[in-house]
Amino acid sequence: MIDLKLLRENPDKVRASQQNRGEDPKLVDELLVADESRRAAIVNADELRSQHKALGRTIGQASDQERPELLKEAEALKEKVRAAEEEQRAAEERVYELQMKISNVVEGAPAGGEDDFVVLEHIGTPTEFDFEPKDHLELGESLGIIDVKRGTKVSGSRFYYLVGAGAFLELALMQLAATKAREHGFTLMIPPVLVNPEIMSGTGFLGEHSDEIYYLERDNQYLVGTSEVALAGYHKDEIIDLSAGPRKYAGWSSCFRREAGSYGKDTRGILRVHQFNKLEMFVYCRPEEAEEQHQKLLNMEREMLAAIEVPYRIIDTAGGDLGQSAARKFDTEAWIPTQNTYRELTSTSNCTTFQARRLSVRYRDEDGKTKTAATLNGTLATTRWLVAILENHQQADGSVVVPEALRPIVGADVLEPR
């Protein structure tokens, strides 16, 4: 939720952010007007309540002759108070409605849409082969570790089974990520995958992309597309202690996405699916620490990508491709040989105080004053990584070399075709 103090003091910054995102800057002016109306309505209601209270004291001291007329005046004033309070309530609802429509203020991200990212760094060189490489699905099927046909038979399109070594390969990834998170001071969690509407809304996922989310109408609950949602809601309506530093959590969960609007796009294999597993990092910190924490999350993602030994690049995502909550987002994209391009494996976002303001997550500063916390998130491993691992580590005979960091759990150095 946008900070009204920032809006009042620097509306041009918020307008520029809206334009950077390709969103409507007029919402800023509408919110400014609504905020003025709300503040005026609060003053009016307070004044009328004060008058009504003062009149009550006068009635208590009045003579029997004066009291009937004063009581009549008090009843009329009471009606004015009711009307003023209703006007205040309506004004506050209007402000809240507009606040929920305005996305977080962009901080340093390039302007533009999906294709206007800036490449910050290349790590490694694109993998080359002296044979015709197979894509991840052909490899997965020949190795007997991915079964899309039976996944489709049982659950429909974009579902799959990970079988045998495929299941262990994912478990190895997730275990490595969980261990790395613990080494960096994160508390591992297995959070709920069903959340209430106020939690989903509080994290900023019920905006223009709400059609991506599975909604269970009978229960009025949502299936999460990332454990970020449940972790963001963990401290809802709390004042948390940040005196010893940021609170850091790592959520291991299944995630669900409808992939609405992506029909015909990435339908082959397990690149874009409805259900997958993910290890998501989540940080609560003081706002002034957020930028440093963002870089730390990105560096942890670097460590994980180094462990699976794939070439990748880091991009600075453009404003128009940010989620509503993110002020800035870095994506890491691995090289996919059969597609001859880079594809996203992880992202890490600085959401500043946007989510915590919606969810009322606060902390006390050195003077004991309550302030809104900042939140950040970043992916440390997910099912999609198998695509990059299989394709980059394949050999001419169809076998796949298992990255050394994953071998203890996979139980093999090389996966052989069946």
For CA atoms 251, 259, 382, 146, give the dihedral sign. Answer: positive
Per the listing, tokens 């989620």 go with: 323
379 marked among binding-site residues: yes
Tell me if 229 sits within 8 A of 206, measured CB to CB. Answer: no
Q: Which residues of 230-253 are buried (b: 16+ CB within 10 A; e: fewer)?
A: bbbbbbeeeeeebeeebbbbbbbb
DSSP secondary structure string for all residues of 287-351: GGGHHHHHHHHHHHHHHHHHHTT--EEEEE--GGGS-TT-SEEEEEEEEEGGGTEEEEEEEEEE-
347 is in an annotated binding site: yes
Q: Which of 73, 212, 309, 344 is catalytic?
A: 344
- From the list 301, 347, 358, 391, the catalytic residue is 347
259 marked as part of a ligand binding site: yes
User: Is residue 366 annotated as part of the catalytic site, yes or no?
Assistant: no
238 as an active site residue: the answer is: no
Instruction: Identify residue 197 by its one-letter amino acid code.
Output: P
Query: Does 106 carry a binding-site annotation?
Result: no
Q: Is 280 annotated for ligand binding?
A: yes
Q: Which of 15, 67, 272, 302 is catalytic?
A: 272
Which of 257, 269, 228, 266 minimizes the C-alpha distance to 389?
269
**In DSSP terms, which residues pair with 280 in a beta bridge?**
251, 379
d(CA 398, CA 140) in angstroms, rounded, equals 10
Does the annotation list 107 as a binding residue?
A: no
Q: Compute the distance between CA of residue 253 and CA of residue 228 in angstroms, rounded to an integer.
A: 10
What is the Cα–Cα distance from 24 to 31, expressed in whole angstroms?
12
- State the DSSP H helix or E strand holding residue 77, giving kind and residue range, or none if neither: helix 67-101
Based on the residue annotation, tell me whether 155 is a catalytic residue of this protein: no
Output b/e per residue, 286-312; b: 16+ Cβ within 10 A.
beebbbebbebbbebbbebbebbbbbb
Q: CA-CA distances (angstroms) from residue 288 to 47, 283, 285? A: 39, 13, 8
One of 257, 313, 328, 362 is an active-site residue; which one? 257
Q: Is 360 annotated in the active site?
A: no
Is residue 344 a known part of a binding site?
A: yes
Could you tell me which of 305, 267, 289 has the C-alpha nearest to residue 381?
305
Beta strand 239-240 pairing with 247-256 = unpaired
Provide the 3-class DSSP secondary structure of residue 278.
strand
* Residue 30 annotated in active site: no
Binding site feature residues for ATP: 257-259, 273, 344-347
Catalytic site positions: 257, 272, 344, 347, 384
Binding site feature residues for L-serine: 226-228, 280, 379
Binding site feature residues: 226-228, 257-259, 273, 280, 344-347, 379
